[in-house]
Structure 1
């Protein structure tokens, strides 16, 4: 089995629905005004974004966890975009299909905020996930 890196992605309800429609196996294509896919490197940062931005903009925010083959991610250096906690990867939108091929296991919902708050698990995620 390949060495993996665990990444996190804060999303709103619309993006979550598209990920569910993929069978928890892919992120949706980026829109023309979104040339970069930004997964983050720690859960706390993802929770901040989901609570502060996704809830404000979409009424609910979710934190996703997924694993990616570490060798594949080596071409994308980590970038700090604020404090030390705010570390993310900048993956060009054109590389999303390649990212999909390097996912290891399903994408999981591990937390939800706003209108979609649930105590410990999200019913849509394949393994339940926990907050």
Structure 2
């Protein structure tokens, strides 16, 4: 029985020693490549993570964070926010185009054209996100 308790104690001790700071990583986990994550799993987490060679990056990150006890934070998806903002801007552009068609002075047309161009640039920047 004493041997079993010793192995359990050493397993618990190795779990306690594995922290993000103790790994001395050069980059954050999210910035590491799949190859680097696999090597990390094989070198440091071989007892806890099985099948690392067949996992993709998302699965490797999730399993490493699970072993280290790091909770993944849900971030709002920027693409969804950008889409709604783009839709609003495009509605503004449509309204300005209708106003531009009704404008009579050359100066008013020129001002509206510049506003439309600025809004279109904003949509292009948001689409890159």
TM-score range, shorter chain: under 0.3
Structure number with higher strand proportion: 1
Pick 1 or 2: higher relative contact order, CA cutoff 8 A, min separation 6: 1
